[in-house]
Amino acid sequence: MLIKAEKLCKIYNRHQPDEMNAVNDVSLEIERNEVVAITGPSGSGKTSLLSLLGCMSRPTSGRVQLAGRTVSQLPESFLAAIRREHFGFIFQHFNLIREISVIENVLLPLVPTGIPMSQMKLRGDKVLAQLALGDKAKVKANRLSGGEQQRVAIARALIAEPQVIIADEPTAHLDSRLATELLDILTVLHEAGKTILIATHDPYVYEHPLISRVLSMSDGTLRGAVRS
Amino acid sequence: MTRQLKILEHTLASLLRRKAKNLSLLVVYAFTIATLGSVLFLTHALKTEASDSLAAAPELVVQRLAAGRNELIPVAYAERIRALPGVEKVTPRVWGYYYDALVKANFTLMGTAGEAEQIELLEGHLPSNPDECAVGSGVAAIFGAEIGDRLVLIDSHEQNRLYKISGLFSTASSLLTNDLILLPETTLREFFAIDEQRATDLAVEIYNQREVKTLAKKIRFHLPDTRPITRSEILHTYTTIFNWRSGMMLAVTLAALIAFCILAWDKATGISSEEKREIGILKALGWETADVLAIKFWEGLAISLTAFLLGIVAAWLHVFVLGAPALVPILKGWSVIFPDFPLTARVDLLQLLTLAFLTIVPYLACTLIPAWKTAVTDPEQVMRN
Amino acid sequence: MILHPGILALLVGSLVTLLLMLQACWLGIQILFRWDSSSCSEFQLQLERKTWLVSTLLNYALGFQILSGVFYLATLEDIHRLFVGAMCATGALNANLVGWLVLVVKVILFFAASLWVVINRLDQRTEETPLVRPKYLLLLLITPLVACDLYLQFSYFSGLRPEIITSCCGSLFSEQGESVASELAGMPVRQAMTMFFTSFGVVFSLLLACLVSHAALLRSLLFISAVVHFFSALAAVVSFISLYIYQLPSHHCPFDMLQGHYAYIGYPLYAALFVSTLFALLPGLCHPLRRHPGLEREIIRREKRWLISALAGMLIFLLISVWPMLFSPFVLLGY
């Protein structure tokens, strides 16, 4: 068992008129090396659930365990360290820093660590080579094509060698060719032993053979497995 | 350690990336520092100038007071003071002020005897016959005179008198010789109509410096109408006056500092959405609040040190190269003369420390809360756009 | 009141520090009353974020306070010229005895604020943050000290009367009359040397012992002996170390060595003393905190670094103070 969530609730703007129950009583377990897709219409709480599982935010109630350790009550600084060490994030809009180079973007998660610069560079070169970006290292992120930007985002998610990859609507802004490319990369990562969590409403993704389990969400609650 | 260095590197890179945005702040910051720095540098230079020139002054000067005002002192007092044990030498000095209506300036006229002979840095020679004089560079400049020219002064009987300039004090000499006209003592007595029995004051040389105070007390005991002034007292007075002046000026310019702080606060609060997004990304990628606070700290320090460097260079140029055109009228203002008298460039560690303390501390304090507000950006916001 | 640029800067600096501390205090009170580590509410999250603001405020305040301590001494060195008979900063301090009090407050503040920062670091590195309440109580105690520092500085500087020529007579006949005594009397040299080297030896061996043993008693002993050594080292500076540095048999001023004339040797000397004392105090102070398993892990992780830093500081202090005794031609003992 890698990730275990028990009765997770996330309420935004509590005790205020615009109170919102983004995640409501969600329990789930994710095994190592599983590839789980969470589907559901927009506003169903997929992103909130991912951010809870990925230690981006703390639940209003309930708890999250990561490899047997309860992480949901930790102070924010510990959550940051956990994000850095255990999770790689691929965001919907890539979220690259546009004015800096590819290699600088990729190395960002390693800056607040004790890893020396020379080692960081080696790791960066390796990851970029893996994703066929070796020749783009010095190019600024805003000069890249959409596909390249996506691969940079993946490289950045992989640089800290995390156990879990979390992808939030990764194909939302991609054409089908790039979406295929993305799923191919994810397949390779899966084979390398990574656990992958994807929030998506794109059938192309959740019907892909890579996905071992599909969970459906609506109104903040999990409607159970669509396919497993 | 490595972590902090890497964060510093990241900070400097992103500052350079955004240099246009920080430029206006940097300019105002540097300008504030330059203003405060000019005040400090100028007063410090004037203060050292004054105290250096006093180094050659006699240990003890005895003046006579009558009705609370300076009076001429009888030369006979010199004998009585010389009789006190411990006194090495007593020299009656004759000197006074002279206002020239033509050039509208005040000069100091001094008789050559005693201490005047110690003045160095002379081109030409000291006056050797009754119608010769030596003048300071300020005087020479205001009259446009050179060695060999004649100087016309009007004496106390409204008579024009001509003196040949035999010597010139060089420009490098200090405040004291700038407005000085040196004449033979007998000539000066005629000029001011001071009789042989009187002098302006008495310069007293003493064998043992530690006895200055005791001797001063004795002189006052034996000659109750006199006022003995020690050299260190003059020094204290000068120092106090200059400290007071620069303190006042600083207090006034503090308003500028406050204005700058408001600007800094405003700048730090209104960070761009671009920067906010960037911090959000960093936090989502696992940067801690402490790391972002470190970015902000390095950023503040880098901006401060750059502005500080620019500011002191500007202040240096303003004071020591240009002659502090913006401040001289306010700070010097004790005499009308002083054409351009060059200041010796001197800055000590305390000046720089003072300046750093006055400017960097308020700046860092002003940007602290905005920095924290940026640092606690919720990482989750990156997931929703 | 003397209006001197340095004084103005010091007062501005202290005022800024006080404002930071007041802000921290206000937040501290909120945290003290509303902190609930078991709560997951948005409010608790806000409080947690505010603790970061408080620690940043305190870090800056400590930094400013250290700078202002150094700057205070530098300013004293500069203004001593205003007082008849004052040879160095001691004279300026004697001109208004409140000045000594300012110095004492600054030293206390240095130790208190450093301690707070260290404890805060420890606490923030543990998941349970068990020290939140004690920390913020301590904060409420430090803030009045900062206010005290500002007040005393103001009354020191405003109480100074520079000696200027008055219109009736020279200042030496004004009411202040006698010059300020500018010398400190030191302890007899032999006695001070014995005391210094004994306390040094004790602290040094205790530091080494703590490196190999985990006994609580050693740490308490280290704490006490470090406090004693701090004072004995200060007495030693006044009594004989200064004499060797100046190579004058009667100049006991502990501040002149901060001047460029003596190659600013006083700064590393005092820095070494303060740093070594601080680090030697920490193991003893933190020992009771080991009750919390999280803290214990952190303390054990850091303690070695503290002990080694303290040892290094002690050695630097010893080196600087003993160097002129061994290698300068100046002979103090035996005459």
The answer to whether residue B241 scores a pLDDT higher than 80 is: no
In one-letter notation, the amino acid at residue B27 is: V
Residues of A (133-152) whose Cβ lies below 8 Å from B: none
Contacts of A22 in chain C (CB under 8 A): none
Q: Rounded to a whole number, what is the distance in Å from the CA of B78 to chain C's nearest CA?
A: 19
Q: Rounded to a whole number, what is the distance in Å from the CA of C202 to chain B's nearest CA?
A: 32
Q: Rg for chain A (alpha carbons), in Å? A: 17
Give the bridge partners for C304, in sequence order: none
- Pick the residue of C39, C42, C120 with the most A CBs within 10 A to test the interface with A by mutation: C42
| Strand B226-230 to A3-12 pairing | unpaired
Instruction: Check B287 against A114: CB less than 8 A apart.
Output: no
What is the residue-averaged pLDDT of chain B?
82
User: Cα(first)–Cα(last) distance of chain B, in Å?
Assistant: 35
Residues A56 and A47: beta-carbon distance below 8 Å: no
pLDDT along chain C (335 residues), means of 10: 82 93 94 86 89 94 92 87 74 85 94 94 88 91 94 91 57 45 70 93 95 91 96 91 85 83 89 96 91 88 94 95 85 67
DSSP C148-179: HHHHHHHHHHHH-------SSS-GGGSTT-SP
pLDDT band at B116 (very low <50, low <70, confident <90, very high): very low
Domain extent listing, chain B: 2-53+237-384, 60-230
pLDDT given for residue C219 in this prediction: 93
Domain extent listing, chain C: 1-167, 172-335
Percent of chain B with pLDDT over 70: 91
Contacts of B354 in chain C (CB under 8 A): 5-6, 9, 71
Enter the tokens of residue A153. 């985002």
pLDDT given for residue C1 in this prediction: 63
ipTM of the complex: 0.93
Give Cα separations from A181 to A159, A204, B330 (angstroms).
19, 12, 74
Instruction: Check B357 against C173: CB less than 8 A apart.
Output: no
How far apart are alpha carbons A189 and A178 in whole angstroms?
17
Q: Does A58 touch chain C (CB under 8 A)?
A: yes
Among chain C residues, CA nearest to A70? C127
* Neighbour subunits, A (≥3 Cβ pairs < 8 A): B, C
Span A40-68, mean pLDDT? Answer: 90
Among chain B residues, CA nearest to A92? B383
Instruction: Check A75 against C41: CB less than 8 A apart.
Output: no
How far apart are alpha carbons A57 and A68 in whole angstroms?
19
Handedness of CA C243, C249, C250, C256 (dihedral sign): negative
Instruction: Check B285 against A57: CB less than 8 A apart.
Output: no
Facing residue for C57 by CB, picked from B241, B254, B368: B368
pLDDT in tens, B266-320: 887 878 888 889 999 999 999 999 999 999 999 999 999 999 999 999 999 998 8
Span B71-93, mean pLDDT? Answer: 88
Contacts of A60 in chain C (CB under 8 A): 40-41
pLDDT band at B334 (very low <50, low <70, confident <90, very high): very low
Residues C51 and C57: beta-carbon distance below 8 Å: no
Entry pTM: 0.85
Among chain C residues, CA nearest to B39? C5
Give the bridge partners for B168, in sequence order: B123, B135
Range name among A61-70, A122-131, B143-152 with the lowest pLDDT average: B143-152
Give Cα separations from B44 to B167, B357, C18 (angstroms).
30, 17, 30
Span B336-341, mean pLDDT? Answer: 46
pLDDT given for residue C181 in this prediction: 53
Q: Does A156 touch chain B (CB under 8 A)?
A: yes
Percent of chain A with pLDDT over 70: 98
pLDDT in tens, A148-182: 999 999 999 999 999 999 999 888 888 888 899 99
Enter the tokens of residue C2. 């003397």
Residues of B (301-330) whose Cβ lies below 8 Å from C: none
pLDDT given for residue B185 in this prediction: 86
Alpha helix (H) residue ranges in A159-214: 176-191, 203-206
Instruction: Check B239 against C82: CB less than 8 A apart.
Output: yes
Among chain A residues, CA nearest to B283? A80
Q: Rounded to a whole number, what is the distance in Å from the CA of B333 to chain C's nearest CA?
A: 19
In one-letter notation, the amino acid at residue A165 is: I
Facing residue for B289 by CB, picked from A76, A83, A96: A76
Contacts of C77 in chain B (CB under 8 A): 350
pLDDT band at B109 (very low <50, low <70, confident <90, very high): confident
pLDDT band at A103 (very low <50, low <70, confident <90, very high): very high
Residues A165 and A86: beta-carbon distance below 8 Å: no
pLDDT given for residue C168 in this prediction: 47
Q: Rounded to a whole number, what is the distance in Å from the CA of B365 to chain A's nearest CA?
A: 24
Residues of B (288-307) whose Cβ lies below 8 Å from A: 288-291
B329 burial level (CB within 10 Å; 0-12, 13-18, 19+): exposed
Instruction: Check B230 against C8: CB less than 8 A apart.
Output: no
pLDDT given for residue C154 in this prediction: 94
Contacts of A59 in chain C (CB under 8 A): 40
- Pick the residue of A58, A60, A66, A69 with the most C CBs within 10 A to test the interface with C by mutation: A58
Enter the tokens of residue A6. 């028990």
Instruction: Check C164 against B353: CB less than 8 A apart.
Output: no
Range name among A60-74, A89-103, A156-170, B90-104 with the lowest pLDDT average: B90-104
Instruction: Check C84 against B236: CB less than 8 A apart.
Output: yes
In the numeric block, the tokens 């030693």 are attached to C236
Largest CA distance in chain A: 53
How far apart are alpha carbons C332 and B102 in whole angstroms?
66
Q: Comparing C242 with B128, which gets the higher pLDDT? A: C242
pLDDT given for residue B175 in this prediction: 63
